[in-house]
């Protein structure tokens, strides 16, 4: 609440007083208060009283906007927890040394969690080799390293990884790689030099758009980005820039004491972290709306969070955690009545939902969900079956698209214009995406969707009505390729007391080569079936039955904790989740988990196992 809000409150109060019936009790109280104030002010000269009143209002307004801006500054700095941790770590005396010791133990956990360097690559290279290495030796080293990776695309669809690999092996993968190679040097940024890449990009955008209802909408266009995250960043950037240009926003921004972060991004709690990244990068406040028990964001909840400050609202089709389809049409209607644009994140569902075989039809979730749907992201590099590095962002209307462009007219390097975040881009990835879409066609995608829904059905049946039903339960209301499951509420549990430790089940599966995603709130696992893994549903059910039995036995023997709150000692989703859980259990709490994740990410970036690389 800054100065404009105080002024509005005062005006409202004045209007209420002017319009109130003469016998209203509030009016009597107001008159009594006013008489008391008159008695006080009578002791001062009128000009002194006026000056003091003005100064008091200005001071209150200043204080309030300082508080608002402090809140925004703290969010930018990473939150109160982060600031408190930094202050405590540098404090002298026993407090500082105990926090530093805790942080050192977190660093030790990081060193355990970082994957080792493949031996085939030899010791880390810290400088450019003095002499070159012959090409065959270079390739030998690379092939050996790739062969050692846990996840490899095979000729049969028996990958054991959730998501991760999407395209089918064999002919399709050979085609996309050949298409990539044919365009290896092209760069769509230099449109005049590579007109073919430009034409291919327009085709990919239009073909992808046709799956999400762009064809039925007059003015939808977009471009290729490096991935779902970049598409989301672009949509949020465009929304922020467009919102900032609205007359209302200009007036609010010009008001003295205006908040430094004038716009909100309204997100279901299940929305991808890319939206939080976008808000942090582009200075928006995140307003998180909890999803309902079925994992879906409800229109009433999102609608209640919309205000004139909302630059963009978000819905997912489908969400990453539980594969749930938000009430996109209802949310779009709420957005339309609030005058707020809606982004639908179709990164996961965009190439699958249109081909859902049989069953009740899905409610609209693309541009056909309503005119408020202003932008959509969908990913050729996931279920569009192309190589990593290709997503499509679709923006409705030229003003929104132009709000995502950067232009420079006074740069010594000449005139400059580019869409979205990057400059140079890979024409090879554009060509691979084009090849994947044209090669599969609607019929190919329909065939893949049928196998994906079939695989999800096998796992779902085993959990809902088969041998796993006593111990596991499907979470939410999945409608696409993702199936999430946690410990059954009525799980038999060892001795009927302890809930199954589902992260430990994930560990037991990992020991058999599976890589399921670990979810939190509540602890759960999910499997996202892709054309690379559709053949593995039966094997997953068999291994799950064994893993559940093993974890139950370990829990009965007291070797595993209660699954209602899995602990690191239970080996939960080792190493990363277990270590993060351990950090959460330390006295550092949530700030400790954040510190752990940052150190872990830094260790991945620097290869330093938490140590700085010189």
> In the complex, which residues of this chain contact ligand PLP (CB under 6 A)?
227-229, 272, 274, 316, 320, 345, 347-348, 379, 391
Enter the tokens of residue 20.
Answer: 């109130």
Residues, the chain? 614
Which residue reads 């020991």 in tokens? Answer: 511
Beta carbon nearer to ligand PLP, 229 or 310: 229
Beta carbon nearer to ligand PLP, 3 or 533: 533
Q: Max alpha carbon distance in the chain (Å)?
A: 96
Enter the tokens of residue 269.
Answer: 């709690």
Helix (H) / strand (E) element for 387: namely none
Beta carbon nearer to ligand PLP, 240 or 272: 272
| Strand arrangement, sheet containing 264-268 | 220-225, 391-396, 373-378, 342-345, 310-316, 264-268, 285-289
What's the min distance (Å) between Cβ of 312 and ligand PLP? 15
Determine contact, residues 304/291, Cβ cutoff 8 Å.
no
Beta carbon nearer to ligand PLP, 366 or 609: 366
Report the DSSP beta bridge partners of residue 161. 515
What's the min distance (Å) between Cβ of 317 and ligand PLP? 8
Beta carbon nearer to ligand PLP, 163 or 575: 163
What's the min distance (Å) between Cβ of 391 and ligand PLP? 6
Q: Rounded distance, CA 332 to CA 327, Å?
A: 8
Beta carbon nearer to ligand PLP, 197 or 315: 315
What's the min distance (Å) between Cβ of 267 and ligand PLP? 12
Residues sharing a CB contact under 8 Å with residue 449, sequence separation 6 or more, in sequence order = 352, 355, 356, 357
What's the min distance (Å) between Cβ of 519 and ligand PLP? 12
What's the min distance (Å) between Cβ of 343 and ligand PLP? 11
What's the min distance (Å) between Cβ of 281 and ligand PLP? 14
Q: Is the peptide bond before 522 cis (omega within 30 degrees of 0)?
A: yes
- The angle formed by the CA atoms of residues 442, 316 and 507, to the nearest 5 degrees, is 95
Q: Rounded distance, CA 373 to CA 212, Å?
A: 11
Give which of 399, 352, 344 is closest to 228, Cα–Cα: 344
What's the min distance (Å) between Cβ of 382 and ligand PLP? 7
Q: Give 183's DSSP letter.
A: T
Half-sphere exposure for 138 (CA within 13 Å, toward CB): 6
Beta carbon nearer to ligand PLP, 208 or 591: 208
Q: Residue number with the shortest CB distance to ligand PLP?
A: 228
Helix axes 93-113, 589-606, angle to 10 degrees: 50
What's the min distance (Å) between Cβ of 387 and ligand PLP? 12
Beta carbon nearer to ligand PLP, 299 or 344: 344
Determine contact, residues 409/180, Cβ cutoff 8 Å.
no
Q: Rounded distance, CA 511 to CA 185, Å?
A: 41
Beta carbon nearer to ligand PLP, 306 or 347: 347
Beta carbon nearer to ligand PLP, 382 or 552: 382
What's the min distance (Å) between Cβ of 164 and ligand PLP? 10
Give which of 568, 571, 598 is closest to 580, Cα–Cα: 568
Enter the tokens of residue 368.
Answer: 């056909």
What's the min distance (Å) between Cβ of 389 and ligand PLP? 9
Give which of 419, 351, 431 is closest to 389, Cα–Cα: 431
Beta carbon nearer to ligand PLP, 61 or 226: 226
């Amino acid at each position: 609440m800054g100065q404009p809000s105080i002024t509005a409150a005062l005006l409202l109060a004045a209007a209420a007083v002017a319009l109130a019936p003469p016998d209203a009790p509030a009016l009597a109280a107001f008159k009594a208060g006013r008489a008391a104030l008159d008695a006080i002010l009578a002791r001062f000269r009128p000009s002194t009283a006026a000056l003091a009143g003005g100064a008091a209002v200005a001071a209150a307004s200043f204080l309030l906007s300082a508080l608002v801006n402090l809140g925004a500054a703290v969010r930018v700095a990473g939150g109160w927890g982060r600031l408190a941790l930094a202050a405590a770590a540098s404090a002298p005396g026993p407090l500082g040394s105990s926090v530093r010791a805790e942080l050192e133990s977190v660093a030790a956990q990081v060193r355990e969690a970082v994957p080792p360097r493949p031996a085939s690559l030899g010791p880390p290279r810290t400088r450019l080799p003095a002499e070159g290495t012959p090409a065959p030796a270079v390739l030998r080293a690379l092939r050996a390293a790739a062969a050692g990776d846990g996840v490899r695309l095979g000729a049969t669809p028996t990958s054991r990884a959730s998501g991760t690999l999407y395209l089918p092996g064999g002919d399709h993968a050979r085609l996309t790689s050949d298409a990539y190679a044919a365009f290896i040097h092209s760069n769509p940024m230099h449109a005049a030099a590579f007109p073919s890449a430009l034409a291919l990009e327009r085709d990919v955008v239009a073909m992808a758009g046709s799956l999400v209802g762009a064809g039925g909408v007059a003015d939808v266009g977009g471009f290729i980005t490096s991935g779902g995250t970049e598409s989301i960043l672009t949509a949020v950037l465009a929304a922020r820039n467009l919102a900032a240009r609205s007359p209302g926003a200009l007036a609010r921004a010009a008001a003295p004491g205006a908040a430094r972060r004038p716009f909100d991004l309204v997100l279901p709690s299940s929305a991808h972290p890319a939206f939080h990244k976008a808000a942090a990068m582009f200075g928006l406040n995140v307003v998180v709306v909890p999803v309902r028990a079925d994992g879906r964001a409800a229109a009433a909840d999102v609608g209640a969070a919309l205000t004139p400050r909302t630059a963009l609202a978000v819905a997912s089709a489908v969400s990453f955690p539980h594969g749930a389809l938000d009430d996109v049409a209802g949310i779009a209607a709420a957005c339309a009545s609030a005058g707020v644009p809606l982004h639908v994140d179709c990164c996961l569902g965009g190439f699958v939902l249109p081909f859902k075989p049989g069953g009740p039809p899905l409610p609209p979730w693309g541009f056909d969900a309503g005119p408020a749907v202003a932008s959509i992201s969908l990913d050729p590099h996931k279920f569009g079956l192309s190589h990593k590095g290709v997503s499509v962002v679709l923006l409705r209307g030229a003003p929104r698209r132009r709000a995502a462009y950067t232009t420079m007219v006074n740069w010594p390097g000449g005139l400059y214009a580019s869409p979205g975040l990057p400059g140079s881009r890979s024409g090879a990835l554009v060509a691979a995406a084009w090849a994947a879409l044209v090669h599969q066609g609607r019929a190919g995608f329909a065939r893949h969707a049928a196998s994906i829904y079939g695989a999800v059905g096998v796992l779902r049946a085993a959990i809902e009505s088969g041998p796993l039903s006593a111990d596991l339960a499907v979470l939410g209301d999945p409608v696409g390729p993702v199936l999430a499951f946690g410990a059954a509420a009525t799980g038999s549990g060892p001795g009927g007391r302890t809930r199954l430790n589902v992260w430990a089940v994930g560990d037991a599966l990992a020991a058999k080569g599976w890589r399921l995603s670990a979810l939190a709130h509540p602890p759960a696992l999910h499997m996202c079936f892709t054309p690379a893994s559709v053949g593995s549903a039966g094997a997953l059910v068999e291994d799950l039955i064994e893993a559940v039995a093993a974890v139950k036995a370990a829990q009965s023997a007291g070797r595993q904790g209660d699954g209602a709150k899995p602990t690191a000692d239970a080996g939960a989703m080792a190493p990363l989740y277990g270590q993060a859980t351990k950090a959460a259990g330390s006295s550092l709490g949530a700030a400790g988990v954040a510190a752990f994740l940052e150190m872990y990410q830094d260790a991945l970036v620097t290869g330093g196992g938490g140590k700085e690389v010189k």
